[in-house]
Amino acid sequence: MADIEALTAMIEPVVTRQGFELVRVQMINTEAGPTLQVMAEDEAGLLHIDQCAALSREISELLDETDPIEGEYNLEVSSPGIDRPLTRAKDFSLWSGHKVRIQLVEAVEGRKKMQGTLLGIDGDAVKVRLEDGSGQEFLIPRSEIHSAKLVLTDDLIAATQPQQMN
């Protein structure tokens, strides 16, 4: 399997050069086979189809030249979407107040999965209040988070709608 950190270091300058910010690089297994998934966004948190296509072409050229991945794979370049993964410190701050689903590397107080309200970030730890009725709050080091993703809610949809001009 490919070294994701090395791939990220290769891909990020391409993404930045096109004026976008890298959200995530990961290798996933799909029905079509191994897929290198690259998520990026512009300053508004979006990546339109023509931007995805241009970025995909440039990343594909780089990968063809350097051949860092053994075997066949697919390349998928996309926007993170509304119910986006949270990967950067700023994501946990920006989306504070919204529902989040977190999977931990190791269980904390018997829990390896948590769902609740994101309360922001404190240093390098994420604050979450569980939605199980207990109101219990956790401060989780980012290094202990395997994955975090926003949960699609009406509030999240409203927060991601373009502002209407009056």
**Could you write out the DSSP letters of every residue in 17-65?**
HTT-EEEEEEEEEETTEEEEEEEEE-TTS---HHHHHHHHHHHHHHHHH
Please give the Cα distance from 128 to 164 (Å, whole number): 31
CATH code, 20: 3.30.300.70
- Give the whole-number percent of the chain exceeding pLDDT 90: 78
165 occurs within a structural domain: no
Instruction: Collapse the DSSP code of 12 into the 3-class scheme (helix H, G, I; strand E, B; otherwise coil) and give the result.
Output: helix
pLDDT at 164: 47
21-30, strands of its sheet edge to edge? 21-30, 33-41, 74-78
State the residue range of the domain holding 54: 4-78
Identify whether 164 is part of a domain. Answer: no
- Does residue 117 lie within any of the structural domains? yes
Answer yes or no: is 146 within a domain: yes
Whether residue 105 sits in one domain with residue 68: no
The pLDDT score that the predictor gives to residue 165 is 45
pLDDT tens digits for range 13-31: 999 999 999 999 999 998 8
Q: What is the pTM of this model?
A: 0.84
8 and 74 both lie in a single domain: yes
Confidence of residue 141 (pLDDT cuts 50, 70, 90): very high
Residues 96 and 68 in one domain: no
- Phi and psi at 35, nearest 5°, equal -130, 130
Report pLDDT for 162: 66
Give the tens place of pLDDT for each residue, 71-122.
Answer: 999 999 999 988 899 999 999 999 999 999 999 999 988 889 999 999 999 9
What whole-number percentage of the chain has pLDDT above 70?
A: 96
Would you say residue 150 lies in a domain? yes
* Domain assignment of residue 57, yes or no: yes
68 with 97, same domain: the answer is no
* Shared domain check, 141 and 99: yes
Closest CA to 129 of 105, 89, 96, 87: 96
